[in-house]
Amino acid sequence: MTRLFHALSVRRVWLVLLPITLIFASPYVIRLLNTYFSAAGGNNLPPLPGALLAIITVPFVLFMFVDLYLLSQVEALLLVGLLALGICLFIVLRKRGGRGARVLAGLTAVAIVALPVVFYRTPYFEYLEARGYAVYAIPSQQNFLDAAVDGVVSQFDGKACQYDLLGWTAENVLYYDRDCRFTGTTTWQYDPTVNQARLVPMVAEPLVTEAETLLVHPAYAPIDHRSPDGRWVASVWEKHAYEPENVIVVHQPNSDQ
């Protein structure tokens, strides 16, 4: 009876641990696959190695779609990450599930803690900077976790949130909407004089600018808003159509600092 109880306890630990491991290992595996195929010039493996690689990686690819929901926003990443980290540490410290489970739980805990550092990502600005624009701020990336979420979802050709510029006020304050999977649509205010974005209940001031295309992107025509004083251009910027997007504010060439 004792052996049976022990076997059932070990099985329960694995049933909890394996999904957690797949959730947080999936971004790393997909990143390795993307790096390999990019270096190899595409999926040009012979049939047998290609089939073996597909079989080995299919669980991680399937959990990629789970990650697009669970890890696609800072609030969700923190909630799921802290819960998973607590479970992994409990397994390790309380010596649950056998040695194999404890080793896997320890590795998973390391993957969770390292995720914001490994997947930290800033938007693609080289094209802008080569044309004389100076990127002043990224209002939609308030901290390193925002950049980490962008890095994670970019592995899956996804978007953490989508943005819609509303316009500038006469006092050169920018308003924009953020639409995320878990929090829905929220309105944000950004003041470049203090370089700070904050959540607001609504647009409280008249907006005086119209959408136009001012910046140049190699893949699409951005929708931009020029500030009334002419110093700033706000844009929703993304590298590709299926990668994360962000609100950016840039100095125009030859504008006063």
The answer to whether position 82 is within a domain reads: yes
Is residue 11 domain-shared with residue 87, that is, in the same domain?
yes
More confident residue, 189 or 41: 189
The Cα 121–Cα 100 span in angstroms is: 33
Across the range 138-146, mean pLDDT stands at 84
What pLDDT shows up at residue 110?
96
Is residue 159 domain-shared with residue 208, that is, in the same domain?
yes
Kindly tell me if the per-residue pLDDT of 209 is higher than 50.
Answer: yes
Kindly tell me if the per-residue pLDDT of 83 is higher than 90.
Answer: yes
More confident residue, 45 or 192: 192
Is residue 24 domain-shared with residue 77, that is, in the same domain?
yes
Across the range 213-231, mean pLDDT stands at 83
Is residue 112 domain-shared with residue 7, that is, in the same domain?
yes
Which residues fall within 8 angstroms of residue 103, CB to CB, at 6 or more apart?
none
Q: How confident is the model at residue 49 (pLDDT cuts 50, 70, 90)?
A: low
User: How many domains is the chain built from?
Assistant: 2
- Tens of pLDDT, residue by residue over 231-256, are 899 998 876 667 788 899 998 665 55
Is residue 67 domain-shared with residue 85, that is, in the same domain?
yes
Listed range (3-7, 40-44, 167-171) with the worst mean pLDDT? 3-7
148's tokens: 């980490």
Kindly tell me if the per-residue pLDDT of 165 is higher than 70.
Answer: yes
Contact between 43 and 117 (Cβ < 8 Å): no
Q: Mark which of 84, 118, 152 sits at the end of a domain.
A: 118
Distances (CA, A) of 247 to 68, 79, 89: 21, 25, 37
Is residue 71 domain-shared with residue 109, that is, in the same domain?
yes
The Cα 8–Cα 18 span in angstroms is: 15
Is residue 151 domain-shared with residue 244, that is, in the same domain?
yes
What pLDDT shows up at residue 21?
94
The answer to whether position 257 is within a domain reads: no
Q: Write out the residue range of the structural domain in which residue 67 sits.
A: 2-118
- Tens of pLDDT, residue by residue over 111-137, are 999 999 998 887 777 778 777 788 888
Is residue 86 domain-shared with residue 164, that is, in the same domain?
no
Q: Mark which of 85, 118, 151 sits at the end of a domain.
A: 118
Give the DSSP per-residue string, 7-42.
HHHHHHHHHHHHHHHHHHHHHHHHHHHHHHHHHHTS
The answer to whether position 223 is within a domain reads: yes
The answer to whether position 256 is within a domain reads: no
Kindly tell me if the per-residue pLDDT of 32 is higher than 80.
Answer: yes
- Tens of pLDDT, residue by residue over 92-108, are 998 887 888 999 999 99
Q: Mark which of 70, 101, 118 sits at the end of a domain.
A: 118
Q: 220-246: buried (b, 16+ CB within 10 Å) or exposed (e) per residue?
A: eebbbbbbbeebbbbbbbbbeeebbbb
The Cα 189–Cα 201 span in angstroms is: 10
State the average pLDDT for the chain: 82
